[in-house]
Amino acid sequence: MNEHSELKTVNMPRIGDKAPEFRAITTQGDIHFPNDYRGRWVILFSHPADFTPVCTSEFMTFAKMENQFNQANCDLVGLSVDGLYSHIAWLRTIKEKIEYKGMKDIEVQFPLIEDIKMEVANKYGMIQPGEDSTKAVRAVFFIDPHGIIRTIIYYPLSLGRNFDEIYRVLVALQTADKFSVATPADWKPGDEVIVPPAGSCGVAKDRMENTEEDLKCYDWFFCTKKLKEEEIWNTILRKEPIAH
């Protein structure tokens, strides 16, 4: 018997799938996911364990940025396979004792799911047996207002996440949806966006002859246009205050 013969096959949801449904106990009360978040974006993310240093740095960063995510019409939901009382004790420790990179007195207000039986973690493929059979890897699921998974990012246990990138992905997804465009490598708000490829020879010819003044074409299939940063924020950002 080889060393991997007893490892279970993990069925992972894919981009474009409906987010697997579940009910769970959290530090903010019971939730019915993703039903409770209809009409809003949600980032569901897992972490390996409470009272661990990488996870502590991540939760402090997410908590510090929570209002920024909320203003972009997105809620945060965390998960680990620890129990509720462990979660509460850990979050209290973060608020009362931990100061890191200028962050102190950080209160985590988004829900943290109790998943002792690993039911949710297994539904979302967060348990990667080759990495660890009892801890969830650092998974990030971007789920749109219709409950559809739009992006998935996985990190190993040893690697802390890049939160600027997580926020950039959220804004880019909404920009693509609202303006019917795509975003190029390293895109950030204010940069040029990519327009859909020409659907006919006539359109391709017009583009190459620069008859569409707002486009910059590198070839018939690769054209960009300016999209003002304020247009993006005016469309994406919530205008009403965020209540907790």
Cβ(95)–Cβ(105) under 8 Å? Answer: yes
Please identify which residue in the block is written with the tokens 């993006």.
Answer: 232
Residue type at position 167 = Y
Token representation of residue 193: 């966006």
Cβ(143)–Cβ(101) under 8 Å? Answer: no
Taking residue 63's Cβ as centre, other Cβ atoms within 10 Å add up to: 20
Q: Is 138 annotated as a binding residue?
A: yes
Cβ(175)–Cβ(189) under 8 Å? Answer: yes
Active site residue 55: yes
Token representation of residue 211: 């008859």
DSSP-derived secondary structure for 193-223: EEPPPPSSHHHHHHHHTT-STTEEEEETTEE
DSSP-derived secondary structure for 35-80: GGGTTSEEEEEE-S-TT-HHHHHHHHHHHHHHHHHHHTTEEEEEEE
Active-site residues, by number, are 55
Binding site: what residues are annotated? 138
Indicate the annotated binding residues for substrate.
Answer: 138
